[in-house]
Chains A and B, each alone.
Chain A
């Protein structure tokens, strides 16, 4: 487009308007191609190619994923995990604070009553339903900040893809941490003499021998 030309649809209708450049017409004028072809410009272009040239001798950054899986930074926000107390009881108390904090409305929690026959977490309450919808989750981590018992944390696992939308709603059993040595699968009674405060302060060492002879033998 020539320097003084303005698009047809913007053509000013009066003489005065034609001589006074403003608005879009002025913008077209200013964006005219650079015609400076001086020698200094040529060296500037060479300088630009130097980066390309130097990179040719660098070690490539490409990771051969999925054959090679690079470790993430330690605080990378990956898939969530529902942690357990050392004796295997769940830390989640079903308080729904994570769901409340979630800006993407990705978490659904339903609490329920612990009973002596069905003690899932220490204290009165446990999370009966726990779902995280990874189609909605934005991995902001507000949920783990909201968690009052450190039940919910994030792992570094990032492989969250599937060809079925339904499978990306993770249920409680998908999110629960595995049982480690000394842990016993809930429901089981609380450590003898302990209350929820004891658990919260981390004073419960593991499942009590009387509850779990098998796990102790393995440990």
Chain B
């Protein structure tokens, strides 16, 4: 709703239980009563779903201008009207009796298995049966039973006996997620929730149905029988899995995270989140977690060490040496700021980069010059007249952005244009106009886009940087049309790391490294004589320098080398490697010193979401022994002899906030011209890929139920290519480069004839590790 519309809203005054209340026209009676603090019992009503009137629990007596409805009415479906007098269960014996009757009917078939039900203790049915039901049951018959539980996906379990047919889950799936895989079957007494036999409930948002189920009919497999609400200590937190910036609630029992729920933030995730954010938290309690610092001994093995010993060895390896710092995209703002300051002050270098992925120099320039100035927010999507998706698959790469676009598509048919090699399921659900592109053809396709206005929003994914000239064309398009631009990285920490200056060409607060005034400004604030000048090395340059001996040491924080390139790990073999890690990994296996750090649940901090808005969180697990990166860096800096004075997350946050944003001039973006598209023939194809939401990501480790809902790895090929190869959907095809071969089932789609699409990091489809490439490379596709 635009601000103008808000001011024009017509207020309607109704009387509820003798109290007058004025609410905007169109408000439902149940919501108007809430405004007065009158709680009408309900099951099917949900403020973010369209009214259904399915459970009938909210019956009230309504009278309009002296004419009463003959029978009690469902207050969740009736909008307020002038002259309306509502009597709820508090003042109307008729409404009270009607509600008690409905409750009795709902309970007739509801099993008395509250003691084994996960919802017990936080169940709207339990609570409202106590507050608005009869004390004693009069039903003596046999209750309807079903086989239970039914796995409607590997993660969501259905118990049909408990269902009160409120249709919240089915409405959510259809209206919010757009995955109508769950529905009400049969009619009358036999009505039940069911799934399509051929399609499993493979939705990225299925966890929300568990959260909004008002009874225990839908439960999550990973939380099954684990706890009771009174055991849990709940902490408001932020999601560490992507840049959407969801508000979350983390429930901890005795030092162990048992579940995570979507928190409420109307400006970001409303009340929803994705399954990754909800269920991917087992990595915190993984057996591979590091508890102690480790130092590689003379025998070549890692040995547990004390903190002073490990810090001393680490400092000796770094002091006076040429060091590169790889921060990775998962750090909090405070930790990234710590790395940024540590690199500049303690190591005297600008060789720092947070990008553990494929990137380009064009992107470096874009990040330094354009991204810090972007102010597009979720509300711009709400108001947009058109949304353009460039190198961005929102359902996989920023699921809450997808929900927001989907909401507008459903509400007002918001036109969506996407540059993609094929029509993905997400594009299909957004009814997007798909402009079929090849990896090198994006720049030309962007330039050819038309029909954008100042109210349009261009959402740029981090993958656009993989295509030469595409970012330049997108920026030019935005400048030419006035359309709002947003850069949506995939990882939660990238925007924050950029603002914190964890990149070679930018200092904290968007200060350009090339600007002497900015360096002096920061040096003064930090109390040091000078800061290193000249743009630092990028991720690949750091690795190359490490291999060639130009760097003596590398500090790596939670980076999976396979995210960068297939050979990244090899580059580190001959240098001193200091690893800040959660768990044993490929990097810790070769590191000289390993320092264990706190997971998000164990520390406080904040992320910057793609809007650039801070998403602060407190430690959910009290008394964890692990420390935040910035605290360790501060100790290490003391040991190195060039202190950074950031003894805590709070201190880092305060110092970073006090620095403020750079208000001087920023460097100009350097546009890059597009290159000619690659030509392929015969069995050759251009590789294109992206990461699916649920894949082999490090932070999804250890959660088999979640992995079970991941989309299958396929190779998408065009019908023409399928014909040529003599394969159909489901037949195995091999996609190979000189480096290796990925063999997965083919899926014939509307993909460009010259392309083949693979999942970037899924089961049996790890593009970087196997093929050594993710996009744009010419590969060979043959029948396996």
B228 engages A96 (CB within 8 Å) = yes
A112 engages B225 (CB within 8 Å) = yes
**Identity of the chain B residue whose Cβ is nearest the Cβ of A100 in the assembled complex:** B230
**Identity of the chain A residue whose Cβ is nearest the Cβ of B159 in the assembled complex:** A124
B121 engages A125 (CB within 8 Å) = no
Q: Which of B231-273 contact A (CB under 8 A)?
A: 231
Measured between beta carbons, the chain A residues less than 8 angstroms from B224 are 113
Measured between beta carbons, the chain A residues less than 8 angstroms from B188 are none
- Chain A CB within 8 A of B625 CB: no
B225 engages A125 (CB within 8 Å) = yes
Measured between beta carbons, the chain A residues less than 8 angstroms from B231 are 96, 99
A124 engages B149 (CB within 8 Å) = yes
Q: How far is the CB of A1 from chain B (nearest CB, A)?
A: 57
B115 engages A110 (CB within 8 Å) = no
**Of B116, B148, B230, which contacts A95 at CB under 8 A?**
B116
Q: Give bound CA distance, A9 to B590, whole Å.
A: 80
Interface size for A (C-beta < 8 A) is: 16
Q: Which of A90-128 contact B (CB under 8 A)?
A: 93-97, 99-100, 110-113, 123-125
Measured between beta carbons, the chain A residues less than 8 angstroms from B115 are 93, 95, 97, 148-149
**Of B116, B148, B226, B230, which contacts A110 at CB under 8 A?**
B226
- Chain A CB within 8 A of B227 CB: yes
Measured between beta carbons, the chain B residues less than 8 angstroms from A110 are 226-227
Q: Contact size class for B?
A: 10 to 19
Measured between beta carbons, the chain A residues less than 8 angstroms from B227 are 96, 110-111
Q: Which of A8-65 contact B (CB under 8 A)?
A: none
B116 engages A125 (CB within 8 Å) = yes
Q: How far is the CB of B127 from chain A (nearest CB, A)?
A: 15
Measured between beta carbons, the chain B residues less than 8 angstroms from A148 are 115
A100 engages B228 (CB within 8 Å) = yes
Q: How far is the CB of A197 from chain B (nearest CB, A)?
A: 9
Given the contacts A100-B228, A110-B227, A113-B224, A95 and B149 also touching, CB distance less than 8 Å: no
Q: Give bound CA distance, A124 to B116, whole Å.
A: 8
- Chain A CB within 8 A of B120 CB: yes
A94 engages B225 (CB within 8 Å) = yes
Measured between beta carbons, the chain A residues less than 8 angstroms from B228 are 96, 99-100
Chain A window 59-98, contacts with chain B (Cβ cutoff 8 Å), 1 for yes, 0 for no? 0000000000000000000000000000000000111110
Measured between beta carbons, the chain B residues less than 8 angstroms from A112 are 225
Q: How far is the CB of A186 from chain B (nearest CB, A)?
A: 17
Q: Give bound CA distance, A99 to B231, whole Å.
A: 9
Measured between beta carbons, the chain B residues less than 8 angstroms from A100 are 121, 228, 230
Measured between beta carbons, the chain B residues less than 8 angstroms from A97 are 115
Q: Give bound CA distance, A100 to B230, whole Å.
A: 7
Q: Give bound CA distance, A113 to B148, whole Å.
A: 13
Chain A window 132-153, contacts with chain B (Cβ cutoff 8 Å), 1 for yes, 0 for no? 0000000000000000110000
Q: Give bound CA distance, A95 to B228, whole Å.
A: 8
Q: How far is the CB of A83 from chain B (nearest CB, A)?
A: 15
Interface of B is mostly: loop
Measured between beta carbons, the chain B residues less than 8 angstroms from A125 are 116, 225
Q: How far is the CB of B682 from chain A (nearest CB, A)?
A: 52
Q: Give bound CA distance, A112 to B149, whole Å.
A: 15
Given the contacts A124-B116, A124-B149, A111 and B225 also touching, CB distance less than 8 Å: yes
**Identity of the chain A residue whose Cβ is nearest the Cβ of B120 in the assembled complex:** A95
Q: How far is the CB of A164 from chain B (nearest CB, A)?
A: 22
Q: Give bound CA distance, A113 to B149, whole Å.
A: 11
Q: Give bound CA distance, A113 to B224, whole Å.
A: 7
**Identity of the chain A residue whose Cβ is nearest the Cβ of B148 in the assembled complex:** A124
User: Which has the most chain B C-beta neighbours within 10 Å: A94, A99, A111?
Assistant: A111
**Identity of the chain A residue whose Cβ is nearest the Cβ of B121 in the assembled complex:** A100
Measured between beta carbons, the chain B residues less than 8 angstroms from A111 are 116, 225-227
A93 engages B121 (CB within 8 Å) = no
Chain B window 213-233, contacts with chain A (Cβ cutoff 8 Å), 1 for yes, 0 for no? 000000000001111101100
Measured between beta carbons, the chain B residues less than 8 angstroms from A113 are 224-225
Q: How far is the CB of B252 from chain A (nearest CB, A)?
A: 14
**Identity of the chain B residue whose Cβ is nearest the Cβ of A123 in the assembled complex:** B116
Measured between beta carbons, the chain B residues less than 8 angstroms from A99 are 228, 230-231
Q: Which of B406-420 contact A (CB under 8 A)?
A: none
Q: Give bound CA distance, A174 to B378, whole Å.
A: 57
Q: How far is the CB of A34 from chain B (nearest CB, A)?
A: 57
Q: How far is the CB of A131 from chain B (nearest CB, A)?
A: 12
Q: Which of B454-486 contact A (CB under 8 A)?
A: none
Chain B window 118-149, contacts with chain A (Cβ cutoff 8 Å), 1 for yes, 0 for no? 00110000000000000000000000000011
Q: Give bound CA distance, A149 to B113, whole Å.
A: 11
Q: How far is the CB of A91 from chain B (nearest CB, A)?
A: 12
Q: Give bound CA distance, A110 to B225, whole Å.
A: 8
Q: How far is the CB of B556 from chain A (nearest CB, A)?
A: 38
Measured between beta carbons, the chain B residues less than 8 angstroms from A124 are 116, 148-149, 225
**Identity of the chain A residue whose Cβ is nearest the Cβ of B225 in the assembled complex:** A111
Q: How far is the CB of A147 from chain B (nearest CB, A)?
A: 9
Measured between beta carbons, the chain A residues less than 8 angstroms from B121 are 100
Q: How far is the CB of B143 from chain A (nearest CB, A)?
A: 10
**Identity of the chain A residue whose Cβ is nearest the Cβ of B253 in the assembled complex:** A110
Q: How far is the CB of B449 from chain A (nearest CB, A)?
A: 52
Q: Give bound CA distance, A94 to B228, whole Å.
A: 10
Q: Give bound CA distance, A104 to B120, whole Å.
A: 21
Q: How far is the CB of B271 from chain A (nearest CB, A)?
A: 27
Q: Give bound CA distance, A39 to B115, whole Å.
A: 72
Q: How far is the CB of A98 from chain B (nearest CB, A)?
A: 10
Q: How far is the CB of A62 from chain B (nearest CB, A)?
A: 46
Q: Which of A187-212 contact B (CB under 8 A)?
A: none
Q: How far is the CB of A39 from chain B (nearest CB, A)?
A: 67
Q: Give bound CA distance, A93 to B230, whole Å.
A: 18
Measured between beta carbons, the chain A residues less than 8 angstroms from B226 are 110-111
**Identity of the chain B residue whose Cβ is nearest the Cβ of A94 in the assembled complex:** B225
Q: Give bound CA distance, A192 to B238, whole Å.
A: 49
Q: Give bound CA distance, A149 to B114, whole Å.
A: 12
Q: How far is the CB of B118 from chain A (nearest CB, A)?
A: 9
Q: Give bound CA distance, A78 to B451, whole Å.
A: 81
Q: How far is the CB of B442 from chain A (nearest CB, A)?
A: 48
Q: Give bound CA distance, A96 to B228, whole Å.
A: 7
Q: Give bound CA distance, A112 to B231, whole Å.
A: 15
Q: Which of B592-637 contact A (CB under 8 A)?
A: none
Q: Give bound CA distance, A123 to B225, whole Å.
A: 12
Measured between beta carbons, the chain A residues less than 8 angstroms from B225 are 94, 111-113, 124-125
Q: How far is the CB of A99 from chain B (nearest CB, A)?
A: 8
**Identity of the chain B residue whose Cβ is nearest the Cβ of A121 in the assembled complex:** B116
Q: Give bound CA distance, A94 to B225, whole Å.
A: 8
Q: Give bound CA distance, A123 to B116, whole Å.
A: 9
Q: How far is the CB of A112 from chain B (nearest CB, A)?
A: 6
User: Which has the most chain B C-beta neighbours within 10 Å: A93, A96, A97, A149?
Assistant: A96
Q: Give bound CA distance, A96 to B120, whole Å.
A: 10
**Identity of the chain A residue whose Cβ is nearest the Cβ of B221 in the assembled complex:** A113
Q: How far is the CB of B756 from chain A (nearest CB, A)?
A: 42
Measured between beta carbons, the chain A residues less than 8 angstroms from B116 are 93, 95, 111, 123-125
Q: How far is the CB of A102 from chain B (nearest CB, A)?
A: 11
Q: How far is the CB of A156 from chain B (nearest CB, A)?
A: 27
**Identity of the chain A residue whose Cβ is nearest the Cβ of B228 in the assembled complex:** A96
Q: Give bound CA distance, A97 to B149, whole Å.
A: 22
Q: How far is the CB of B218 from chain A (nearest CB, A)?
A: 15
Q: Which of A148-203 contact B (CB under 8 A)?
A: 148-149
**Identity of the chain A residue whose Cβ is nearest the Cβ of B230 in the assembled complex:** A100
The 6 closest A-B pairs by CB, nearest first: A95-B115, A111-B225, A125-B116, A148-B115, A96-B228, A125-B225
A residues with a Cβ closer than 8 A to B are 93-97, 99-100, 110-113, 123-125, 148-149
Pairs across A and B, CB under 8 Å, 14 listed: A93-B115, A93-B116, A94-B225, A95-B120, A96-B227, A97-B115, A99-B228, A99-B231, A111-B225, A111-B226, A124-B116, A125-B116, A148-B115, A149-B115
Apart from the given pairs A111-B227, A113-B224, A113-B225, 18 other A-B contacts in the complex at a CB distance below 8 Å: A93-B115, A93-B116, A94-B225, A95-B116, A96-B227, A96-B231, A99-B231, A100-B121, A110-B226, A110-B227, A112-B225, A124-B116, A124-B149, A124-B225, A125-B116, A125-B225, A148-B115, A149-B115
